[in-house]
Amino acid sequence: MGRLFESPWAITIIIIVVLLLFAAPKLPGMARSLGQSMRIIKSEVKEMKNDGKDEKPAAAPSASPAPAPAPEAPFEGKIVNNPTQGNTTGEGTGTGTGAQS
């Protein structure tokens, strides 16, 4: 019996049998978790490789954009009363409420 545990193959087989007996319900979840981890690592490595390539085209403009319209210059105006608000005299306080004093 002492010779059985001296072989590395025997120990490996015993460990595999014990794992299958006690951890069988958890194996699909562990495999799914391992697969998700591998996908995350793969996508991160891919992004790291693409990071250096994306910076150069972004710095150089590929097409000349249309120039932005010039902002309108400020102008001075005169405040007039709105005739629809009831002020018929053309004079007013500038509030446009139509109240006369």
- Say if 41 falls within a structural domain: yes
Residue whose token pair is 């954009």: 65
- Total structural domains in the chain? 1
Residue 20 pLDDT > 70: yes
- Say if 31 falls within a structural domain: yes
Alpha helices in 1-101, H assignment, sequence order: 8-23, 27-59
- Predicted confidence at residue 24, as pLDDT, reads 85
Residue whose token pair is 């608000």: 85
What share of the chain has pLDDT > 70, as a percent?
55
Determine the Cα–Cα distance for residues 58 and 62; give it in Å rounded to an integer.
Answer: 8
Residue whose token pair is 């105006």: 77
- Say if 18 falls within a structural domain: no
R_g of the chain computed on alpha carbons: 41
- Say if 93 falls within a structural domain: no
- Say if 30 falls within a structural domain: yes
- Say if 68 falls within a structural domain: no
pLDDT digits (tens, 9 = 90+) for 21-66: 888 888 889 999 999 999 999 999 999 988 877 555 545 555 556 6
Six token digits for residue 92:
């007013």
Domain of 34, in residue numbers:
26-55
- Say if 77 falls within a structural domain: no
Confidence of residue 77 (pLDDT cuts 50, 70, 90): confident
pTM here?
0.36
Determine the Cα–Cα distance for residues 83 and 60; give it in Å rounded to an integer.
Answer: 56
